[in-house]
Amino acid sequence: MKNQYDHPKIQKLSRNGIYGILTSRVYIGIREIKTTEGTEEVPGAWQAIITDKTFEQVREVLSGNGPGPRSPRHNYIFSGLIRCARCDKKLQGKSGTGRSGQVRYYYAHPGRCAEGGLHSIEAEDAHELVDEWLARLAIDKEYFNELLEVGREGLGKQLRALKSRLKQLDHEEAALRKRLHDATTQSLSMPGSATEALREKEADKLLEQLRENEQQTEQLRSQAENLSTLLATGDPAIFRSYCDRIKDFIKLSARKKCRKVFDLLQTLTLGEEGLNVELVHADGRSFTKGGLVLVSDRITLPGVLLLKSRVFLRKLYQDEGLSTNAIARRIGVGQSTVSDAIQRHGLAKAPEDHAKRPQQVPYGYDFKSGKLVQSRSEQQIIRMVRQLRAAGMTLRDIAAHLNRKLISTKRGGVWNATTVRRILRRSHSSSL
Ligand SMILES: [Zn+2]
């Protein structure tokens, strides 16, 4: 059968294929001859390309791998790490049998994404894309430095924010000390008075506040110090440290990568058109607790991978009404590849659908197969808006509430009083 995806990088080696390569003595210069007694080993007429020691090490690793090569076990390297860029839910490692009968492994969104994020990505695709990106970082110094520059700018901002917070804490501390001083001297000057117990209570409270202030100051100060050290480190040194860790990681077996991935990748999210990745800082995890990231990037998904997603294609083709040609240009693939994908996902539509599509689909509805159908998620929001209104909230407050919940308008914008009023009016007239 012809490979479904004619992209050279996506042709896969099977698990058994890799096992065969890893256990073949051909690579240590040995020829195996099948005889009636079994297999006889003779020196090959070629040079070994790996050493005996490496071969033995690989064998050891394989024997410790547990289930044999026929087992359907799969190493979901990004399990527990990869999330949806839209709603931040963790994507789960899953497997399933495709139409061709081949087992596929992928990371999938639990349920449907309420924010319309991508549903899934094949595990191998994700692994390969990240590995390629990492490999590029480790050899392409110029590219790395570009990312570093952006990161430095972001961290510089964070450092300034930290310093101004520290200053504020300093002022607060001085004020607390003064109040504490006043409270204690006054109670000393009036021993035995009725207010003494009260003052002591106040002093205790002030002491407690001072301790909290000190703790926070200490924490932020060490964070600021770390950050200053980090920002003062020269680019070449930073590049080297990342480079070493990346190279170590890439060499690992998939099984080991599962465990080590958290030491290298801080976040990995599947977005609309790419994987967003943030690296853990070379000095270890302490930095990353405060969300300080020096190196981050978006790995653009190749067009052929995007086309595997029905959700993505439906959005461009049906919701946005783009032509196959426009989609092909946008994601950099051939027009026939797009048409094939549309057929494969069952998204082909009758040509007159296009003409019938109303200029503006009202909130609460989707335009599907030539007609308006209720959108469940949007109808839910309309109900919520009506309830809030019935509870006496102002249009402005409702709009602010929606924006806080990161719910976007039909056109993907933010809410204001007018847009809220519009859906209230419409839902009112349609319910009559
Ligand atoms: Zn999501």
Distance 100 CA to ligand 1 centre (A): 28
Distance 346 CA to ligand 1 centre (A): 23
Decide: helix, strand or coil at residue 388: helix
At 217 the pLDDT is 95
Distance 269 CA to ligand 1 centre (A): 10
Q: What is the tally of structural domains in the chain?
A: 3
Q: Give the span between the Cα atoms of 263 and 397, in whole angstroms.
A: 43
Distance 90 CA to ligand 1 centre (A): 8
Distance 105 CA to ligand 1 centre (A): 19
Asked which of 205, 236, 267 is the last residue of a domain, the reply is 236
**Maximum mean pLDDT: which of 23-32, 95-104, 296-305, 405-414:** 296-305
Distance 228 CA to ligand 1 centre (A): 36
At 133 the pLDDT is 94
Distance 88 CA to ligand 1 centre (A): 6
Q: Does residue 249 form part of some domain?
A: no
Confidence of residue 350 (pLDDT cuts 50, 70, 90): low
Q: Does residue 362 form part of some domain?
A: yes
Q: Does residue 58 form part of some domain?
A: yes
Lowest mean pLDDT among 181-190, 226-235, 352-361: 352-361
CB under 8 Å to 185, separation ≥6 — which residues?
Answer: none
Q: At what angle do helices 335-344 and 324-331 cross, to 10 degrees?
A: 110
Q: What is the 3-state secondary structure (H, E, C) of 241-258?
A: HHHHHHHHHHHCCHHHHH
Distance 89 CA to ligand 1 centre (A): 6
Q: Are 270 and 83 in contact (CB under 8 A)?
A: yes
Confidence of residue 286 (pLDDT cuts 50, 70, 90): very low
Asked which of 236, 252, 287 is the last residue of a domain, the reply is 236
**Maximum mean pLDDT: which of 273-287, 348-362, 411-425:** 411-425
Q: At 208, phi and psi to the nearest 5?
A: -60, -45
Distance 388 CA to ligand 1 centre (A): 25
Q: Does residue 19 form part of some domain?
A: yes
End-to-end CA distance of the chain: 58
More confident residue, 72 or 237: 237
Each residue's pLDDT tens digit, 376-390: 888 899 999 999 999
At 3 the pLDDT is 46
Q: Does residue 330 form part of some domain?
A: no
Q: Does residue 110 form part of some domain?
A: no
CA distances from 241 to 251, 280, 283, 298, 402 (A): 16, 12, 9, 21, 44
Distance 411 CA to ligand 1 centre (A): 18
Distance 309 CA to ligand 1 centre (A): 14
Q: Which residues pair with 42 in a beta bridge?
A: 31
What is the average pLDDT value for the chain, to the nearest integer? 82
Confidence of residue 375 (pLDDT cuts 50, 70, 90): confident
Q: Does residue 345 form part of some domain?
A: no
Distance 205 CA to ligand 1 centre (A): 45
Q: What is the 3-state secondary structure (H, E, C) of 111-142?
A: CCCCCCCCCEEEHHHHHHHHHHHHHHHHHCHH
Asked which of 236, 256, 278 is the last residue of a domain, the reply is 236
- Show the domain range for 369: 351-432
Q: Give the span between the Cα atoms of 264 and 257, in whole angstroms.
A: 10
Distance 298 CA to ligand 1 centre (A): 17
Q: Does residue 149 form part of some domain?
A: yes
Instruction: Report whether pLDDT(174) > 90.
Output: yes
| Among candidate residues 240, 132, 350, the one with its CA nearest the CA of residue 342 | 350
Q: At 315, phi and psi to the nearest 5?
A: -60, -50
Type and span of the H or E element at 329: helix 324-331
